Every structure is written in C-alpha cells, then in structure tokens.
A = this chain, B = another copy of it.
Amino acid sequence: MLSEFKEYVTKIEYLNSAMAVLSWDAMVNTPSKGKAYRGEILGFLSGEYYKLITDDKVKVFIDYFNNESNLDDITNAMVKKIEKSYNEIKKIPEDFYIQYTVDASISSAAWEEAKNANDFSIFKPHLEKMVDYKKKFVDYLSFEENKYDTLLDMYEPGITVKKLDEVFSEVRDAIVMLLKKIETSDVSIQTDFFTKYFSKNDQEEFSKFILSKLEYDFISRGRIDESEHPFTTDFGKDDVRITTHYYENDFRSAMFGCIHEGGHAIYEQDISKDLMGTGLAEGTSMGIHESQSRFYENILGRSKEFWSYFYPEAQKKFPQFESITLDQFYKAINKVEPSLIRIEADELTYSLHVIIRYELEKMLINDELKVEDLPTAWNKKYKDYLGVEPSSDADGVLQDMHWSDGSFGYFPSYALGNLYGAQMVKIMEKDIPNLYTQISQGNFSDIHNWLKENVHKHGAVYKPAELIKKITGEELKSEYFINYLNKKYSEIYNLV
C-alpha cells in the first residue's frame, strides 16, 4: 500500500514540478503575447492537480494509514500532509474556489491600477471582497481560538495569533526602542558610493563568486536568470533556480537579493533524496524558508566577518570602492533609515514593516477594522513605530501586492524567518566554536553542513514548531533575535 501511495504522490509531484517549470518560464522567458495562453495551460494543469488531490483514492490511502499503528516519522508526516490538503480542498466548495480565483485575479489588476493611479478607492471594493472571501474560507475550514489562525496555518503550519502576538510585540517594542537610541547617535554613515555605476556583468560575476563560495550549486544543479522580481523555484532537488534583477546604479539590490535567494536555493538543494515521492521534499513552511534566506542575506551577508573575507575581492572588482574602508562599507550596508517601503528597508526596520501588516490583517479578518479605515490605520502605525508617514497611498497601504489576491497570513513569515534564524544561530555557535573565524576566512562548509543536517535535509517532515524545538530544545522565542539586533546596532551606532 505504501508503494502505491508513493506512486500516487509522485504523480502529484510531477504535476507540481511541471507547473513550476511553466511558471518559471512565464516569468523569465515568455514573450508578452504568449502569456495569455500560458495562463490557460497553467489553469488546465491546476485543474488536473485538483482532480488528483481530491480523488477518492486519496481518502482510501488516508483511512488506511490512519488505521496503521507504528508509522515512521516520514510516512506519518506524508499522510498528515496529504490529509490536510485533501480536507482543506474538500471543505471548500469548488464553485466558491473558482469564483475566488477569478475575483482574485481581477482584484490584482485593480490593485495595480490603484497603485499606479495612487488612488485607494479603486482598490477598496476589491479588497473588501478579498477580506470577505478569506473570512468565508475560515468559516469553511473552521477555527479554534482566532479566525486568523486558520489563514496563518496555510503558510506556517501550527503557528497561532497567541504566539505571534507574544513574540511580535516583544520584537516591535525592542526595535522601536533601538530606533529611538539610534536617532540620538552621532555616528554618521555614508552610502553614496553604492549608487555609482556598477555594470550588470560585473555584478553578475561577483554575485556568482559569492554564491559559489556559499555552496549554492548553480552549475550542475541550478541556474541564475533575470526576472522583474527575484524568486527561487525548483523542479526536483537537482534543478533549483534563482532569479535576480540587476540595477546598474545600485550595488546592493542584486547582491543581497542573490544571497537571499541563494539561501532559499541551498535549502531546496539539500533536501534528502529519500523524500522524493512523499510530498515532503520541500521547505516545511514559508517562515523556515525565510529563516534560511534571511540567515544568508543578513546574519551572514551583512556581517563584518563575511565582508572581511569578501571586501578585498569586491575592491579588486569594483574600483568604485577604492577609497572606502571595510568599516565604512560594513556600516553602509547596515545603515538604519526608517522608511516607507518594506522591500527597501534595512535589516533593523524590516521586521516593523512586517509586524504592521500582521497587526492590520489580523484586525481585518476579525472585523476589528474596516477596509475603508485601513489607509488611516496604516499611516498611524507607520508614524507610531517608524516615525514616518506616507504622503500617498502608493507609498503606503498600496505598496504590496499580497492583499490583492487574498494572501492574508503570508506576511508574518518574513519576520518569523528572522526569529527562527537568530534562535538557530545560538546553537550553531555552540556546535561550531570557531564559527566567526570560519566566516572571515570565507569557509562556509561547516555552516552549510550544519544547516543541511539540522534543517534542510528534513524537508517538510517536521512542522516549524517541532523543528525549532528539535534543533534548539526550546519553543520559538523573540529574545535571540532581539539580542542579536541590540548587539549589532549598539556596536555600529556606538550606543551605550
């Protein structure tokens, strides 16, 4: 029965991989007029996916294995994962789901129009619809403590509002306090050298140099392409691709973007081959995925040790940095500047952008905030936490596309990744005593191996909460991330 079940799940994986190839190609290669037909093909394949996952056979498999005792961890996780998908899809009426998909696509288009026109009123009726849809999703799927928990569970299985309220409020307060201190600091940081001209070709070569040191195999098991928005995707563990977007007037964007996506890609490349055909050969949650990308991008990639190895190489490649010292460079990539746009935020303020969205969408789903009052609530939170206020909705509530297609519950992953990462690093430091020396020598093998053994190879066998407990012996806590931020920024800004 297990081999039959695996054979069935393998088909689902094949279909998923086929859709991933078509989507990657749509984003990287498809000519403008070919996109409509590509959408039709993807729609057809999604329908086939729906049929496979809701087939009566799936129910037979689930019932059979739920009556078996002594399942091993992997088989157990495999059954639970399929059961969750099956139940979710079965509980949602097909007509409702199709109508939602159609409306989500209309809503996304309206959002784009609204953003370009800087006019929230264009988006408002669509956003109201999306909030309603998601509340109905919760009704269909049911909830225990908080309606929003059901939505969170789609991206971060097992996480709850109760837990997030606790850790996010601690993080929020700590960052806000740190920001106030930084305001009083007399350290001034120069960043103008980042916006000189950096040729695409040079950026590409240097990014590849770093990524190969970090052990992302983009030669025989992956590739790097260009797309409007950077992303990572995979079709089997031996074909994991990242994309980037080069800006020739900014050194930072593609560089840190590549390291970030590289973190996602290394995770996928490291997943155990044995998990193919189980539905578990993927990252266990968006939050754990972000913990890997943000570990590479920030904890490693914005550390002094990292650049004490790479900066001399950067200076060789880029004469633009000739007169800039390592210390200046290090401070420049970590300059704190409260700002309006999430995707341009520095490492410190980034989490605040995410927490604001978390707080707002939680209120929307629980009828504590109306869509019409959203722009005002948005602006107030930016003022309160970051001390800045959008002068237009395009720079405020309209900046991200997530809400336009109803992806409520997704944003927290970005901040959770920071927390998971910092908590893991405390254990990594114990297991690799000369961790920081290794980084400063450009030796990332032990780190990579640690992540592979503790996180990556397990794929989705363990839920995020189980995984973090297994690795650190503790539940998710905010203190490690807060301590990390305090230490790092106190040094940079000479805080007492």
Contact = CB atoms under 8 A, between A and B. Distances in A.
A27 interface: no
A18 B31 contact: no
Task: Determine which residue in A11, A29, A34 has the highest number of CB atoms from chain B within 10 A of its CB, and name it.
Answer: A34
Given A18-B18, A21-B25, A44-B11, A38 B236 contact: yes
A291 to B, nearest CB: 26
Interface string A219-262: 11111000000000001101100000000000000000000000
A313 interface: no
Contacts of A238: 31, 33-34, 36-37
B31 A239 contact: yes
Nearest to A45: B18
Contact of A236 (B21, B29, B37, B223): B37
Interface in A68-120: none
A301 B25 CA distance: 32
B34 A239 contact: yes
A145 interface: no
Interface string A15-46: 10110011001000111111011101100110
Contacts of A15: 44
A41 B239 CA distance: 13
13 contacts: A11-B44, A14-B40, A14-B44, A14-B45, A17-B37, A18-B45, A21-B21, A25-B25, A31-B218, A31-B221, A33-B238, A34-B221, A37-B239
Interface string A460-494: 00000000000000000000000000000000000
A372 interface: no
Given A222-B31, A223-B31, A235 B38 contact: yes
A44 B44 CA distance: 16
The 10 closest A-B pairs by CB, nearest first: A34-B239, A37-B236, A14-B44, A33-B238, A34-B238, A14-B41, A33-B220, A33-B221, A32-B220, A17-B41
A236 B34 contact: yes
A431 interface: no
A223 B44 contact: no
Given A25-B25, A48-B48, A18 B33 contact: no
Contact of A34 (B14, B31, B44, B235): B235
B11 A235 contact: no
Contacts of A17: 37, 41
Interface in A191-230: 218-223
Dominant secondary structure of chain A at its interface with chain B? helix
A41 B18 CA distance: 7
A238 to B, nearest CB: 4
B235 A31 contact: no
Interface string A348-361: 00000000000000
A41 B13 CA distance: 9
Contacts of A21: 21-22, 25, 41
A239 B33 contact: yes
Nearest to A239: B34
A44 B235 CA distance: 14
A89 B223 CA distance: 38
Nearest to A32: B220
A31 B236 contact: no
A57 to B, nearest CB: 15
A223 B15 CA distance: 26
A125 to B, nearest CB: 32
Nearest to A20: B41
A279 to B, nearest CB: 15
A220 B239 CA distance: 28
Contacts of A220: 31-33
A18, A45, A219, most chain B CB atoms within 10 A: A18
B37 A223 contact: no
A44 B45 CA distance: 13
Contacts of A41: 14, 17-18, 21, 235-236
Interface string A258-283: 00000000000000000000000000
